[in-house]
Amino acid sequence: MTAAESAERYPIRPLSVQTWEAYAALAEKHNGVWGGCFCTWFHPRRKDEGLADVVEAGRPYKELLVREGRAHAALVFDGEAAVAWCQYGTPEELPNIYHRREYLAGLEQAPDYRLTCFFVDRDYRRRGLALVALRGALELIAQQGGGVVEGYPQDTPGKKTSASFLYSATRTVFERAGFEYERKKGTKNCVMRTTVAAAG
């Protein structure tokens, strides 16, 4: 399936108040995703925001962030149903990453955006939707002015991993979207970057 065919078959919509229910339905179908986190692990901790006693973890916190415009993702749709996403945001919006000490030790320039989390409906896996979501995120970033974009995919060539655990996608997916390898991060992941031009 070409990029054009993917865009027509699976259109991209940004995570927003308008698409929240579709996003929430996809997450709820999979028990809140990864233990019920609702894709909030990379966001600021509630206690650091002074919200520990204000809003519950998981879905309530994610919805609050969406309504405040502090959570972004490219949602892949099949009809009216969201079937995949790629979460993106600024380092301030998504400050938490794995292997932080190692990452910071090798950091020369902070990115403008991070891609931290991918998720694909279990009924749609192995169809290339992680790449569709990734390209969608880059398009949305371009619409927001572009900049340096960083991702942290799994880099274990020759080893098979269950699709349900590939929250960071793979190096191959990022390479197909034009990212370049920068350095290792942890034992199974790496840092990859690309620069996105502003749309228009």
Strands 72-78 and 12-14: antiparallel
Give every residue of the chain whose pLDDT is below 70, as ranges: 1-7, 157-167
Please give the pLDDT value at position 164: 47
- Rounded CA-CA distance 185/182 in Å is 10
What are the extents of the domains in the chain?
3-196
Please give the pLDDT value at position 200: 82
Please give the pLDDT value at position 7: 66
Are 151 and 138 spatial neighbours (Cβ–Cβ below 8 Å)? no
State which CATH number among 3.40.630.30, 3.40.50.920, 3.40.630.10, 2.40.10.10 fits the domain covering 3-196: 3.40.630.30
State phi, psi for 102 to the nearest 5 degrees.
-65, -40
Please give the pLDDT value at position 150: 97
Give, in order, the Cα–Cα distances in Å from 130 to each of 85, 166, 169. 8, 10, 7
pTM of the model: 0.91
- Structural element, H or E, at residue 60: helix 59-67
Please give the pLDDT value at position 168: 78
Cα-based angle 131, 137, 139 (whole degrees, multiple of 5): 105
Please give the pLDDT value at position 159: 56
Tens digit of pLDDT for each residue in 24-56?
999 999 999 988 899 999 999 999 888 988 899
Please give the pLDDT value at position 197: 98
